[in-house]
Structures are given as C-alpha cells and as structure tokens.
C-alpha cells in the first residue's frame, strides 16, 4: 500500500516538476550522510530564480479536417517562444544553436493532443549574443475537442489549442503574447486566411495566457489560442435539404389524381417512399453519429413522417372510393392539398428556429 502511494506521489511530482519522493530504504542519504553533498547541475542555464517572462505566439497554418463524430480536429501550427537569459550572452554576432533541454526545464505539452499530434522540427533553440532565446516548433496532428452539435448544420463551435509548460509552477513563468514576425498586426498568434475546410467560416481568433489550475495556489503555466468558426449551411441546403423537399412535394402529387385511378395514386406514393429511403441512406453518411438529435435529424425525421402520412392518406382515400364514398375521398384529397404543404412549412420553420 505504501509503495502504491509513493508511486502516485512520484507521478504527480513528475507532471508538476517537483522533486520525486523516494522511500527511506531507497534513499542513499539515509545510509551515507556524504550522499547529501550537492551535485553539479549539468545544465546550469535551466534554473533561474525569480519570475521569467516568456513571450509566445501561435500561428495556425491550416485546419485539415474537423471530425464531428470523433470530437476532434486535425491542425498544423507553429509555436514560437522568446525569452531573455543574460547568462547565455556571448561575444560575437553569430547565433548559437543549443538543445532546448539545456535552457528549458520541463516539457511543452499540448493539453488537447492525441497520439499522433507531435512536433516535426528538431528540439533546438537559437541564442542571440545578448542572451535572447528563441524556440520554434511546428506541430501537426489531431486534437481532441468536445463539440456541441445540437444545432448542426447551423452550429458555431469554439476550437481550443492549449500548451502547458510542465516542469514549472505558477510564479516561475509568466507567458505574454508576442508579435508574430512578419505580421505585426497579429499579437500572440493568428490563423491562416485560407483553410482546407471550405465549409467553415472563421469568425474570430483569440490568444491569451492560460494556466492550468488544479486548486488555489497550484497551477501549471500555459498559453493558448481559440478560434470560433461557423459551419456554412449552403452545402447542406443544396445537397441534403433540397432533395428532401422535392421528395415531399412528389408525395403530394396523388392528391390531384382522381380516386378512380387508385393504382396511379398508390404507385406515385410508393415511389416517394422508396426515394426517401434512398435519400435517408445518403443523409446518414453526412450526419454525425451522436446520442442526441440535431436540427438536421429533426428535419429529416419530420420529412419521413410527412411522406409516410401522405402515403397512408392515399391508401385511405382509395379504400373510401372503392367502398362507394367517392365524395368523401375527393373532399379529403382537396383538403390535403392545403393541409400537407402548410404542415410541412410549419415543420421546417420549427426545426430551423428550434
């Protein structure tokens, strides 16, 4: 039980950048007092007392894919950090290249990253003669993002990208938005004007320092970028909604056919049902697989109800006419010419304004 507790504390200490805890049996200092003598730090530039300001910028090069059913999106971005460490100042005018592990304690971790989201450039930094350190890294891959798709396809989503400086605690690093080189109007980062997702429109982009707080006085420094995007409705209007509307209008055709032509009425109604089933299969591949209904679900399910109701009406009036109630069948057909279109318009308005 004690070993499990010690292991848990050690893992938490690794994430927070705290010294690991060892048992008394494993502590060499418990056996040999000389073991308490300080050991020289092989990377003397990493540790620094006091608050260090680190200027950051995030620039999203592209958003390759947004996966609503998987609650994730695939992105390609560049992170740039800049800070000054006078201990790294050197003579001359040339820029030195050093491993980031020699000047940075801990790891830069993306909070939303999935298994394939990883850096693609060497983990090095540029050190200017005055001690200015510049870290650049390109990241690509999928990021997890909880999406609320109840308004699909009229939804607006917030996409978050957060980086944490594990190995540091609050009060050791302060992240400050920096100007993007070559784009002075962007402070803290930005988003490319053209993305690989033509069915999304970016409304706004925001960057800020975002520490991860566990409780009062316990946090990991961090920074992040959020872009708000709205799904463009035109694709779904022309490729999903218009075919459904045409199928519904087809289901009203039998209302204008004489009840004596029952075979024509039932044949036309049956054709619309089959067309609706085929269209529903296509729509299923477009809709995300969710445990709740979206606007699109309400529209398509309401359309199915309207078409099947029209089919039942046609069968009912055919039976009435066959039993000699022709006048009643004609009256129902005449009334249906107004009731069904009116009910369909109300259904569409309700689903769109829900």
Q: Can you read off the two tokens belonging to residue 319?
A: 């039976």
Q: What mean pLDDT comes out for the span 108-116? A: 91
Domains delineated in the chain: 2-31 (no CATH), 52-231 (2.70.170.10), 235-353 (1.20.58.390)
Mean pLDDT of all residues in 142-169: 91
pLDDT band at 56 (very low <50, low <70, confident <90, very high): very high
Q: What is the pLDDT of residue 335?
A: 95
Beta-strand runs (E) in the chain: 52-67, 72-84, 96-99, 107-110, 118-119, 124-127, 132-144, 156-166, 173-177, 179-180, 183-187, 189-191, 200-209, 212-215, 218-220, 222-231
Average pLDDT value for residue range 226-241: 89
- Give the closest residue to 351 by CA, choosing from 292, 288, 299: 299
For every residue of 232-255, DSSP letters joined together read -SHHHIIIIIHHHHHHHHHHTGGG
Q: Which two tokens stand for residue 131?
A: 């001690």
Using 50, 70 and 90 to split pLDDT, how confident is the model at 41?
Answer: very low
Q: Is the pLDDT of residue 84 over 50?
A: yes
CA pair distance 51, 93, nearest whole angstrom: 28
Q: How confident is the model at residue 350 (pLDDT cuts 50, 70, 90)?
A: confident
pLDDT, greater one: 135 or 38: 135
Out of 37-51, 207-221, 281-295, 296-310, which region has the weakest mean confidence (pLDDT)?
A: 37-51
């Amino acid at each position: 039980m004690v070993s499990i507790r010690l292991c848990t504390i050690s893992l938490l200490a690794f994430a927070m950048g705290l010294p690991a805890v060892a048992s008394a049996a494993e502590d060499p200092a418990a056996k040999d007092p000389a073991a308490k003598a300080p050991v020289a730090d092989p990377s003397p530039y990493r540790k620094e007392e006091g608050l260090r300001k680190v200027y950051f910028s995030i620039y999203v090069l592209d958003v390759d894919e947004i996966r609503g059913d998987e609650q994730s999106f695939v992105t390609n971005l560049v992170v740039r950090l800049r800070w000054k460490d006078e201990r790294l100042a050197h003579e001359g005018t040339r820029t030195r290249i050093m491993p980031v592990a020699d000047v940075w304690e801990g790891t830069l971790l993306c909070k939303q990253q999935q298994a394939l989201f990883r850096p693609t450039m060497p983990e090095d930094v540029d050190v200017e003669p005055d001690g200015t350190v510049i870290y650049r890294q390109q990241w690509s891959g999928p990021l997890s993002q909880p999406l609320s798709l109840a308004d699909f396809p009229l939804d607006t989503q917030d996409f978050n990208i957060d980086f944490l400086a594990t190995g540091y605690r609050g009060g050791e690093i302060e992240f400050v938005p920096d100007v993007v080189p070559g784009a002075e109007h962007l402070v803290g980062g930005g988003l490319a004007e053209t993305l690989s997702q033509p069915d999304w429109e970016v409304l706004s982009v925001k960057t800020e320092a975002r520490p991860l707080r566990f409780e009062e006085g316990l946090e990991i420094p961090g920074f992040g970028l959020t872009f708000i995007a709205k799904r463009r409705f035109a694709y779904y209007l022309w490729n999903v909604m218009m075919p459904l509307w045409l199928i519904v209008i087809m289901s009203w055709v039998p209302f204008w056919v004489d009840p004596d032509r029952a075979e024509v009425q039932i044949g036309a109604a049956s054709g619309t049902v089959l067309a609706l089933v085929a269209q529903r299969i296509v729509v299923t591949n477009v809709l995300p697989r969710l445990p709740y209904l979206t606007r699109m679900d309400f529209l398509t399910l309401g359309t199915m109800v309207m078409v099947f109701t029209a089919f039942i009406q046609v069968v009912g009036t055919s039976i009435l006419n066959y039993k000699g109630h022709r006048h009643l069948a004609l009256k129902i057909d005449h009334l249906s010419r107004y009731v069904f279109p009116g009910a369909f318009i109300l259904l569409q308005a309700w689903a769109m304004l829900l």
